[in-house]
Structure formats: C-alpha cells, structure tokens
Amino acid sequence: MSLVAEAFVSQIAATEPWPENATLYQQLKGEQILLSDNAASLAVQAFLQMCNLPIKVVCRANAEYMSPSGKVPFIHVGNQVVSELGPIVQFVKAKGHSLSDGLDEVQKAEMKAYMELVNNMLLTAELYLQWCDEATVGEITHARYGSPYPWPLNHILAYQKQWEIKRKMKAIGWGNKTLDQVLEDVDQCCQALSQRLGTQPYFFNKQPTELDALVFGHLYTILTTQLTNDELSEKVKNYSNLLAFCRRIEQHYFEERGKGRLS
Amino acid sequence: IVCQPAKILNFLRRQKYNADYELTAKQGADTLAYVALLEEKLLPAALHTFWVESDNYFTVTKPWFASRIPFPLSLILPGRMSRGALNRILLTRGAPPLYQLQEVEAQIYRDAKECLNLLSYRLGTSQFFFGDTPCTLDAYVFGFLAPLYKVRFPKVQLQEHLKQLSNLCRFCDDILHSYFRLTLGGTPPAGPESVDANLRKLTQLVNKESNLIEKMDDKLRQSPQLPPRKLPTLRLTPAEEESNSFQRLSP
C-alpha cells in the first residue's frame, strides 16, 4: 500500500474496536487448499487467538481472487479487508492489540530477522516442493488447485500458477536447486529455530509473539500434511523442542478454547 | 569455481577456515536469521540503487563495469544485469496492490531503511555484531553496507539514511581500515594484542574470508546464472587506488 493509503487505513482502524463478526477467508480446506496457503492461514489464526480476538474461518473457492494482494488468508473486519500476516499484524496493532510491545529494540530486530528467515527458507521450500517437484505437482498440487473449476479451466489455472511460481524461483536463484538441497535448507532453518528456542516455552520467553504464530503455522502444517513423501516432516521431527512447541501452542490456543483439534 | 556468498562460505568451512569458532549455537542461528533479513529487505533496494535507478546506472555502474569487461560484452552484459535486477525486484516485491514501479520503489526503500535501523539497533555500541571479534555475519553485513556507504552516486537516498546511523558507518570504517588498507601479505590487523599463533592465523583467515566475500559481492547483485570469469575485479582496493577510482567516477 502507498504511504498515504496506509496512514488512512490506520486512522480508520484505530477508531473502531474489533467487531464480533470478523471473518478470515481461505480456500476450501478439504479439497483445494495447498501446503503453503494452509500454513499462512494457520499462522494468522494462531496470531489472532494469541491476541484474544474472535475470528470466524470461512472457506471459499475463490479466496485467492478476492484477496486485495492475491494471497491468502485475508481478514474482513468491519468494512476493511487486509491480507497476509505482516499487514494484519500492523492492522491489529492500530486497533490497540499487540504481542510485541514488551520487547526492546534489539529483540524486535531479532524477531523480524527470524520472521524473514521463516519466510525466506520455509515458505520458499514449501512453494518449491508444491510447484517445482514433479512428483508432488502431478499427484497433489494440480489436482487440488484446480478442483473447484470445470475442465479445461482447472488445468489452465494450475499451469498458469506453476509458471508464475517457477519464474519467481528462477529470479531468486532457487530454479537450479535440487530437492535434496532444498531439504537441506529446511533442515538448516529448523536447526536455527530449534537453537533459538532452546528450552524456553516461546521464542521470547514467557509470552508468545507473532514469530511464534508464524513458526507454529508452518511447522504444524508441515507435520500434519500428507505429501508424496515424508522427507519434509522428517526434517522437522528431528527437533524435539520444536515438536513440543507446536503441541504446546495447539493445546493452549486451539484445544482449550473449545475449538477442538485442528484438522 | 565457487560463486555466491553462501556457497563460498560453505566451501571455506570445508577447507577448515571458519570465523565462527567462538559463536554459541544461538548466535549461529541469529547469523542465519540476519542474513535472511538482509537478503529480503536490503538487497532489493541495493539492487535498485546500483542497477535500476537510471541516473546511478548510467553515470556510475555501467561505465564502471563496462570498463573492465572486454568489448563487445561490455555492451551486452551490464544491460542484461540491469534487466535481471529489475526482474528480480518486480517478481519478488511487485505483487498487487503495488501496481506502479514508483510504489514498488517507495516500498523497497522504506523496507531497506527499516532494515538499516534494525541493524543499527542490533549493533549498538559494540565493535562487531557478536562481541570483539568479527565473524561471518560481520563480513556479510559489511559486504552489503560498504558499497552503499562509499560509492559516490548521483541519487543517494539510501546512502544519506546510512550516514545518519553513525554506528554502522563506524563499523564499515573500522573494517575498511583494518582489513583493506593493508595488503594481504602484510601484518595482521589491529585486534586483541596477542602473540598466540592460532589467534594470528584466525585473524588472517577472517581477512581472507571477508576479502573474498567482497570480491564476490558483485555476484550477489547480479543474475546468479552469469559465469564468474566475466565479472570485473575487486572493487575495494588499497587506499591509494580507491580514492583515485572514486575521483575518476564522480561527475
């Protein structure tokens, strides 16, 4: 958003409290949504749960096209629509709720750096696996991505998206990577997260922050999604403190609030 | 032949050169996180300043590179690098709702300034990022900051912002002074005074490592598919040549 538009949105956001009927839109859970989108959506849900803000999850086949930035998830609050975790965190902050106020400047810098690490490595690896690994693309991605649409639209949209993602991978230098190299990067990233977490309950000790929500979203989705092979989830399972971390957040923020287990 | 900083660092580590002996596991993890932050937030703006901003590109970057590449490649390669940089910026940051190039530019410079601020907070008053001895992260940050800090461009908004962050400027100046003003075969740079042979060897290895990273720093800003032999030589050279080359290039 341009600077003016952002300032305008913050002003408007600040004047109204969080409504009861806020909704989060994502793609269809059972048949359509992909690994990376599911991770992003779960991260936002976790973040809003951590802030104690009620949100209703609505699944729509065209969620990607409804979103202002083309990415899911997006939230519809009052008469505003905000997509992606970064802008949503800022929007929620404008309404007066924040998880990272207690951090000093150095810790905030660290938090931002780790969030970029997750986005840079984990999210890119997920996109690579979904769209550039032929086995996964053929068996899972194409079928799921185009499932709500009739032939030939389902094929066209899937190929178009694949071409777009491959272009982006090539531009950032991941185009020539093999699957093994990508899995090694994921392992490095998980190792870094595991070392940073250590034995603490959350990344910044007692209170969860948006970093915890983001890491939870990605790791939980990787652990619970069925893919053609289990190598990705095996990489995460090597780190027991990360597993305990996911379990803790799931229990505390999702089960205890009466939402039942996450599917 | 090894290209790209991450691969160079891995190569050096396998050859048993490592500047991270004394880092804890957490600091190693922090290094990885800050490198990701730099690549995501600072790199697009650095690419833009060098390769996309037309005043800078045509007056500084293009003649500079073209002067070191044999004809006729000097006509083709800089243009290709420039288009590659613009492509990368648009593909990674040009998603809707930023439809205009100016809006994308405004966003990436804003992110870059925020990133510089974060680095400044993290560095604080210490000499290097993890205490008193330099390590991989210092070399990486230096590789990004030094060209932005020192090269004289017509359009300098990022440089102006960097100059306001005095601890980052001091950091660059310290490293330039310690590791680049002396020739590689010279005495080890100023550090903890010690006759311990291992420590001297370590400082020499860090010297070599950051020198190599600087050399390949050009690579970081270009398309990763380009073969290394077409690259120009090291940009930051000993003091006398440095001031001469800058005087030659400033309008």
Q: How many domains does chain A have?
A: 2
CA closest to A173 among chain B residues: B224
Asked whether the predicted pLDDT for residue A216 surpasses 90, the reply is yes
Q: Tell me the DSSP string of A84-120.
A: SHHHHHHHHHHTT--SSTTS-HHHHHHHHHHHHHIII
Asked whether the predicted pLDDT for residue A103 surpasses 60, the reply is yes
Q: Looking at the structure, tell me whether residues A171 and A67 fall in a common domain.
A: no
Chain A and chain B share a number of CB contacts under 8 A equal to: 81
Consecutive H or E run containing A43 = helix A35-50
Which of A40, A66, A95 is the last residue in one of the domains? A95
Which of A40, A71, A95 is the last residue in one of the domains? A95
Q: What is the pLDDT of residue B21?
A: 59
Q: Dump pLDDT digits (tens) for B145-170.
A: 888 888 888 888 888 888 888 888 88
Q: What is the pLDDT of residue A211?
A: 92
* ipTM for this model: 0.84
- How distant is the Cα of B239 from the closest Cα of chain A, in angstroms? 34
Residue A166 belongs to some domain of the structure: yes
Its pTM stands at 0.78
Residue A111 belongs to some domain of the structure: yes
Q: What are phi and psi of B24, to 5 degrees?
A: -80, 170
User: Does B33 sit within 8 Å of A116, measured CB to CB?
Assistant: yes
- Every domain of chain B and the residues it spans: 23-180
User: Does A68 sit within 8 Å of B39, measured CB to CB?
Assistant: no
Distances in whole angstroms, Cα of residue A198 to Cα of each of A201, A217, A232, A248: 9, 19, 21, 15
Which of A95, A130, A165 is the last residue in one of the domains? A95
Q: Looking at the structure, tell me whether residues A61 and A154 fall in a common domain.
A: no
User: Does A195 sit within 8 Å of B26, measured CB to CB?
Assistant: yes
Q: Dump pLDDT digits (tens) for B182-207.
A: 433 333 433 333 334 555 555 566 66
Domain CATH for A70: 3.40.30.10
Q: What is the pLDDT of residue B185?
A: 37
Q: Looking at the structure, tell me whether residues A116 and A87 fall in a common domain.
A: no
Average pLDDT over chain A, rounded to whole?
85
Q: What is the pLDDT of residue B39?
A: 86
Q: What is the pLDDT of residue A11?
A: 73
Binned at pLDDT 50, 70 and 90, residue B54 comes out as: confident
- How distant is the Cα of A222 from the closest Cα of chain B, in angstroms? 20
Q: What is the pLDDT of residue A40?
A: 92
The domain made up of B23-180 has a fold known as Glutathione S-transferase Yfyf (Class Pi); Chain A, domain 2 (1.20.1050)
Q: Would an 8 Å CB–CB cutoff place B10 in contact with chain A?
A: no
Considering only residues B231 and A144, tell me which one the structure prediction assigns the higher pLDDT. Answer: A144
User: Does A105 sit within 8 Å of B36, measured CB to CB?
Assistant: no
Q: Looking at the structure, tell me whether residues A43 and A167 fall in a common domain.
A: no
CA angle B10, A170, A222 (to 5 degrees): 75
- Residues spanned by the domain of A13: 3-95
Residues of B whose CB is below 8 A from A172 = 88, 91-92
Q: Looking at the structure, tell me whether residues A17 and A147 fall in a common domain.
A: no
The alpha-carbon radius of gyration of chain A (Å, integer) is 18
Q: What is the pLDDT of residue B247?
A: 38
Average pLDDT over chain B, rounded to whole?
71
Domain CATH for A204: 1.20.1050.10
- For a pLDDT cut of 70, what percent of chain A falls above it? 93
User: Does A173 sit within 8 Å of B4, measured CB to CB?
Assistant: yes
Q: Looking at the structure, tell me whether residues A11 and A126 fall in a common domain.
A: no
Q: What is the pLDDT of residue B81?
A: 86
- How distant is the Cα of B17 from the closest Cα of chain A, in angstroms? 20
Q: Looking at the structure, tell me whether residues A47 and A155 fall in a common domain.
A: no
Residues of A whose CB is below 8 A from B37 = 112-113, 116-117
Residue A205 half-sphere exposure toward CB, CA atoms < 13 A: 3
Q: Would an 8 Å CB–CB cutoff place A71 in contact with chain B?
A: yes
Residue A100 belongs to some domain of the structure: no
